[in-house]
């Protein structure tokens, strides 16, 4: 009968009318209410930490930034019909599958300018699956009170992640998930503490090779010469204008086009009051990677409608530094935890179950 109205007859002969579509509408309203509550909680948290956050300067960058130049559109593995809804009945993991999983702890590492707050949808979905997500603030990010301008090395930037991994009990491993430039942090962790990492998942991330900088992939897309010109309004000189720049931040207009071209307005609003400066030193530091990193179990998740790191650039990263597996999300911008949370979640579950 599909969603048509169903008529049932009571014992007294009067018809009793019920509707599957009505039940479906109630379920949708319930999901919408739950999502609204999550948004409000996250937004409230962001506003509280707003004094720690750096506001954007008005300015402009090259027209090439955020452009949708000719980019190859690969066939996606997943669409996301429930992209903006967190399901309250997440049943993707059976009890048997959950019991058989050796690694249930996920450590979520944010990208440039973001913080632990950006993973709130993924955290909810993973917890509903019976898994153990942990989201960290890198140094100078989120609610970490370190002055971003003083974070000069990748080791400094990644310290909260390395400290967390070092404190794990002997024999315990985690699945690392890194977004955007957070990919450099999980690569660094693979090099330093490979015994603590079961799998490393790069979400539209800077999975660069030995000797490359985390910013190199972005430079191909954005044009580093214009971004770092003396007239650039994106640069911050924390030690004075007579010293090298210490951080950068895109202005609001370009952030929307680069990172959030498919994200819900509420999540964009959350990001606008929560994002902080990006420390320049770690982004411009060449990674020193050896066989420890190369033999790690790496997986890559491509976002096919990404304006900050195009599908072509992501494909190049995969081709030059092959991971064990590649997954693709159709219709996702640079922030799939906002624009396609269900698709991202399904892929993370699939990767977690790979023997």
Mean pLDDT of 218-224: 73
Nearest to 344 by CA among 43, 37, 116, 106: 106
Q: Is 14 inside a domain boundary?
A: no
Percentage with pLDDT > 90 across the chain? 63
Q: How many domains does the chain have?
A: 1
Report the residue count for the chain.
355
pLDDT of residue 4: 36
Q: Where residue 250 falls among pLDDT bands split at 50, 70, 90?
A: confident
- Whether residue 250 contacts residue 257, with contact meaning beta carbons closer than 8 Å, is answered with no
Other beta carbons within 10 Å of 252: 17
3-class DSSP state of 18? strand
- Whether residue 5 contacts residue 19, with contact meaning beta carbons closer than 8 Å, is answered with yes
**CATH code of the domain containing 253:** 3.40.50.1820
pLDDT tens-digit readout, 170-179: 999 999 999 9
pLDDT tens-digit readout, 92-112: 577 777 877 889 999 999 999
- Which tokens is 250 given? 């895109």
- Which tokens is 32 given? 């919408």
CA distance 274 to 268: 10
CA distance 269 to 282: 27
Mean pLDDT of 313-325: 96
pTM of the model: 0.77
- Which tokens is 180 given? 């955007």
Mean pLDDT of 231-252: 87
pLDDT of residue 95: 78
Give the structural domain span for 144. 100-352
Exposure of 219 in the CB half-sphere (CA atoms within 13 A): 12
Out of 123-127, 252-256, 338-342, pick the least confident. Answer: 252-256
Q: Is 22 inside a domain boundary?
A: no
State yes or no: pLDDT of 240 exceeds 90: yes
DSSP 132-168: EEEEEPPTTSTT--S-GGG--SHHHHTHHHHHHHHTS
Mean pLDDT of 301-322: 96
Q: Which residue has the higher pLDDT, 161 or 43?
A: 161
Q: Is 168 inside a domain boundary?
A: yes
pLDDT tens-digit readout, 18-53: 445 555 556 556 556 665 666 555 555 554 444 343
Q: Is 112 inside a domain boundary?
A: yes
Q: Which residue has the higher pLDDT, 115 or 28?
A: 115
State yes or no: pLDDT of 198 exceeds 80: yes
**Catalytic center residues:** 180, 306, 334
pLDDT tens-digit readout, 53-73: 333 333 322 222 222 333 333
Q: Is 20 inside a domain boundary?
A: no
Q: Is 47 inside a domain boundary?
A: no
pLDDT tens-digit readout, 257-298: 999 999 999 999 999 999 999 999 999 999 999 999 989 999
Q: Is 15 inside a domain boundary?
A: no
Q: Is 215 inside a domain boundary?
A: yes
**How far, in Å, are 66, 283, 296 from residue 322 at the CA level?**
27, 22, 11
State yes or no: pLDDT of 3 exceeds 80: no
Other beta carbons within 10 Å of 298: 24
Label residue 31 exposed, middle or buried (CB < 10 Å: 0-12, 13-18, 19+): middle
């Amino acid at each position: 009968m599909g969603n048509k109205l169903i008529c049932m007859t009571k014992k007294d002969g009067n018809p009793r009318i019920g509707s599957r579509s009505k039940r479906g509408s109630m379920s949708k309203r319930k999901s919408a209410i739950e999502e609204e509550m999550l948004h409000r909680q996250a937004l409230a948290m962001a506003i509280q930490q707003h004094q720690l956050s750096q506001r954007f300067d008005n300015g402009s960058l090259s027209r090439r930034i955020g452009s949708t130049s000719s980019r190859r559109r690969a066939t996606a593995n997943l669409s996301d019909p429930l992209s903006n809804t967190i399901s309250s009945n997440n049943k993707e993991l059976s009890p048997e599958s959950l019991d058989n999983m050796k690694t249930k702890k996920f450590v979520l590492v944010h990208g440039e300018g973001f913080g632990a707050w950006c993973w709130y949808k993924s955290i909810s979905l993973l917890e509903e699956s019976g898994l153990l997500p942990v989201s960290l603030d890198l140094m100078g990010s989120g609610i970490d009170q370190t002055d971003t301008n003083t974070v000069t090395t990748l080791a400094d930037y990644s310290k909260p992640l390395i400290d967390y991994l070092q404190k794990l009990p002997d024999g315990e491993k985690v699945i690392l998930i890194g977004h955007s430039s957070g990919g450099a942090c999980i690569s660094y962790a693979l090099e330093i503490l490979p015994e603590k990492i079961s799998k490393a998942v790069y979400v539209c991330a800077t999975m660069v090779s030995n000797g490359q900088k985390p910013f190199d992939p972005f430079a191909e897309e954005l044009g580093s010469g214009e971004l770092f010109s003396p007239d650039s309004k994106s640069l911050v000189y924390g030690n004075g204008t007579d010293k090298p720049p210490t951080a950068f931040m895109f202005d609001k207009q370009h952030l929307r086009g680069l990172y959030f071209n498919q994200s819900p307005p509420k999540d964009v609003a959350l990001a606008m009051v929560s994002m902080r400066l990006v420390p320049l030193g770690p982004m411009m530091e060449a990674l020193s990677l050896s066989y420890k990193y190369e033999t790690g179990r790496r997986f890559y998740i491509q976002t096919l409608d990404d304006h900050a790191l195009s599908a072509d650039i992501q494909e190049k990263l995969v081709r030059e530094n092959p991971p064990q597996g590649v997954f693709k999300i159709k219709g996702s911008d640079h922030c799939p935890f906002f624009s396609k949370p269900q698709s991202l979640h399904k892929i993370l579950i699939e990767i977690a179950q790979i023997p």
